[in-house]
Amino acid sequence: MGVGGLLLRICGLAIRALQFLDGAVILGIFSYYLATLSKNDQTIPTWMKAVEGLSGAATLYGLLGLLFVCCLGGVSFFAFLGVVLDVCFTGAMIAIAVLTRRGTQSCHGTITTPVGSGPSGAKSATALTYGMACKLEKVAFAVAVIGIFLFLISILFQTLLARHHKREKRFGPSPANGYTSGSRRGFFGRKKKHVDGPGADTLPGHPTPHDVENGAPAKNEKSFFGSFGRNKNTNSYGNSAYTGNY
């Protein structure tokens, strides 16, 4: 793999790791909400369950994405599948940002949080203060917005990595580049072989009439097919009628 492919793969791994952490943060916050509400026999809103499910799926996809980039990065089918899933999870992060939009509110005074409404310093039925619950929702909202951009950037890197893999598969690696990276062919196609040594561009010699008259020794000539061709033991002019006598 060339330097370009290595950099693309490293960037892809970094983005997948950030996506995993992004989903894990939201999953952890809402898992805590759901655990405290369930423990204290409080009603769990449907939107909170939706955020829990979407963030859990995003976390799992980020983890699997790390493995795919390491093992199958650039393969056309998996690259296309990754682009489709990135688009889907971009929508999922937008949905989480919409559902947690109350995280943009101030966490002072009387506030509404996922665990209820009340003064920021008062404790909710879950023994969690409303102010702390508000701050956690604010974090979830901010992380969801970041996740939107992470999945959009991931689409770009998936496309670039797939194109690079296709180019490497077409042009290399090969003995010409030390089996390290692919390389494009020249503008006019295949490169000409370079012949070293003196007289590389010199045309082969031809017998003169004097050589033919005096019967110069014939040279063995190989045919076009190399060593499998037959040897020609006749001179280049065959049985010439030239005798030199007039």
Flag whether 203 is in a domain.
no
Flag whether 187 is in a domain.
no
Burial class (CB in 10 A: 0-12, 13-18, 19+), 184: exposed
Flag whether 186 is in a domain.
no
Q: What are 98-107's pLDDT values in tens digits?
A: 999 988 888 8
Q: Are residues 157 and 224 in the same domain?
A: no
Flag whether 219 is in a domain.
yes
Whether pLDDT at 246 is above 50:
no
Q: Are residues 139 and 219 in the same domain?
A: no
What φ, ψ does residue 112 adopt, rounded to 5°?
Answer: -110, 125
Enclosing H/E stretch for 149: helix 130-171
Q: Are residues 62 and 163 in the same domain?
A: yes
Question: What are the structure tokens assigned to 213, written together?
Answer: 């008259």
Q: Are residues 164 and 227 in the same domain?
A: no
Distance of CA 37 to the CA centre of its chain: 42
Q: Is 33 left (phi over 0), alpha (psi -120 to 50) or beta?
A: alpha
Outline where DSSP puts E strands in the chain: 110-113, 116-119
Q: Average of pLDDT values for 4-14?
A: 78
Closest CA to 157 of 75, 83, 91, 59: 83
pLDDT at 229: 47
End position of a domain, from candidates 125, 150, 173:
173
Of residues 188 and 2, which shows the higher confidence score?
2
Q: Are residues 166 and 220 in the same domain?
A: no
Per-chain mean pLDDT for the chain: 76
5: pLDDT confidence band, cut at 50, 70 and 90?
low
Q: Please give the C-alpha separations between residue 133 and each of 43, 98, 103, 139, 156, in angstroms, as whole numbers.
A: 16, 17, 10, 10, 36
Closest CA to 167 of 185, 154, 153: 185
Q: Is 26 left (phi over 0), alpha (psi -120 to 50) or beta?
A: alpha
Of residues 105 and 92, which shows the higher confidence score?
92
End position of a domain, from candidates 153, 173, 193:
173
pLDDT at 124: 84
Flag whether 190 is in a domain.
no
Q: How many domains does the chain have?
A: 2
Flag whether 159 is in a domain.
yes
SS (H, E, C) 22-41: HHHHHHHHHHHHHHHHHHCC
Answer whether 73's CB lies under 8 Å from 9's CB. Answer: yes
SS (H, E, C) 31-81: HHHHHHHHHCCCCCCHHHHHHHHHHHHHHHHHHHHHHHHHHHCCCHHHHHH
Distance of CA 118 to the CA centre of its chain: 49
End position of a domain, from candidates 146, 173, 200:
173
pLDDT at 204: 65
Flag whether 183 is in a domain.
no
Question: What are the structure tokens assigned to 218, written together?
Answer: 């014939």
Whether pLDDT at 177 is above 90:
no
Q: Are residues 138 and 24 in the same domain?
A: yes
236: pLDDT confidence band, cut at 50, 70 and 90?
very low
Whether pLDDT at 160 is above 90:
no
pLDDT at 145: 96
Helix (H, G, I), strand (E, B) or coil at 151: helix
234: pLDDT confidence band, cut at 50, 70 and 90?
very low
Question: What are the structure tokens assigned to 67, written together?
Answer: 């493995």
Q: Are residues 39 and 87 in the same domain?
A: yes
Range of the structural domain that residue 224 is part of: 209-239
Q: Average of pLDDT values for 123-135?
A: 87
Q: Are residues 32 and 77 in the same domain?
A: yes
Answer whether 89's CB lies under 8 Å from 15's CB. Answer: no
Flag whether 8 is in a domain.
yes
Q: What are 41-84's pLDDT values in tens digits?
A: 888 899 999 999 999 999 999 999 888 877 766 677 777 888 89
Rounded Cα distance between 195 and 200, Å, is 6
Q: Average of pLDDT values for 141-150?
A: 95
